A and B are shown apart, each in its own frame.
Chain A
Amino acid sequence: AQSVTQLDSHVSVSEGTPVLLRCNYSSSYSPSLFWYVQHPNKGLQLLLKYTSAATLVKGINGFEAEFKKSETSFHLTKPSAHMSDAAEYFCVVSDRGAAGNKLTFGGGTRVLVKP
């Protein structure tokens, strides 16, 4: 079974300061891990993905995440927040398997960016 825990339901940062969104996962197999972003009243957009190889993954808009198997973590970071980063972020895990790409979502972290 797979599960995801996003450790913060809300994060508030000032514009220009670093952003850290924490995610821990549980997986029986070698997982794929994703971060998606959802702006208000919009669909979900892929920020970045980890599927194998490099453990430090770079995504769009300056975001990156590091896969740490020993800590079962996949935290999302950005060096300098921008007002447009205000959104909800979802950490997602999917096990390898013949049953297809079942995705398990974390509860989400809502990011507020203060000017």
Chain B
Amino acid sequence: NAGVTQTPKFQVLKTGQSMTLQCAQDMNHEYMSWYRQDPGMGLRLIHYSVGAGITDQGEVPNGYNVSRSTTEDFPLRLLSAAPSQTSVYFCASSYLRPGQRATEAFFGQGTRLTVV
């Protein structure tokens, strides 16, 4: 009954370092996405994927890369960390019903990232 699992829960990076935030889901959901949460701005979409091998940019993609080699995993890579990337990151997954109303998303517990 794991749902969406994110690791790590906390991370401190130095400016210029790279790292990968991991996200895995065990619900066989086609759709996966990454959001960042900043005070007063809700959650903003970084990247998303509608299935293995297919990814696309969201609202705030700069500085981040993603890949989707399997249905279960959707890692988020920070190429060269900047202080502006200090945020809380959430991974989410949901069933995909093309042409139909969107279904609910299931969220991981979040990764709190600080870039110094």
C-alpha gap A55/B38 in the complex (Å) = 31
Q: How many residues belonging to A are interface residues under a CB distance threshold of 8 Å?
A: 31
C-alpha gap A39/B32 in the complex (Å) = 23
Q: How many residues belonging to B are interface residues under a CB distance threshold of 8 Å?
A: 30
Which residues of the partner chain A approach B53 to less than 8 Å between Cβ atoms? none
User: Assuming A96-B99, A101-B31, is B90 touching A43 (CB within 8 A)?
Assistant: yes
Main secondary structure of the interface of A (DSSP, over half): loop
Are B42 and A100 in contact (CB-based, < 8 A)?
Answer: no
Main secondary structure of the interface of B (DSSP, over half): loop
**Most chain A CB within a 10 A radius of its CB, from B99, B101, B104:** B101
Of A44-52, A65-73, A77-85, which binds chain B? A44-52
Pick the residue among A46, A52, A95, A103 that contacts B45 (CB under 8 A).
Answer: A103
Give min CB distance, A40 to chain B, whole Å.
12
Does A9 sit within 8 A of B, measured CB to CB? Answer: yes
Which residues of the partner chain A approach B45 to less than 8 Å between Cβ atoms? 102-104
Does B105 sit within 8 A of A, measured CB to CB? Answer: yes
Give min CB distance, B88 to chain A, whole Å.
9
- A96 to chain B: closest residue by CB: B101
Give min CB distance, A51 to chain B, whole Å.
5
Are B101 and A105 in contact (CB-based, < 8 A)?
Answer: no
Give min CB distance, A23 to chain B, whole Å.
11
Interface residues of B (CB under 8 A from A): 30-31, 33, 35, 40-45, 48, 50, 56, 58, 90, 92, 94, 96, 98-105, 107-110
Interface residues of A (CB under 8 A from B): 4, 9, 30-32, 34, 36, 42-46, 49, 51-52, 90, 94-108
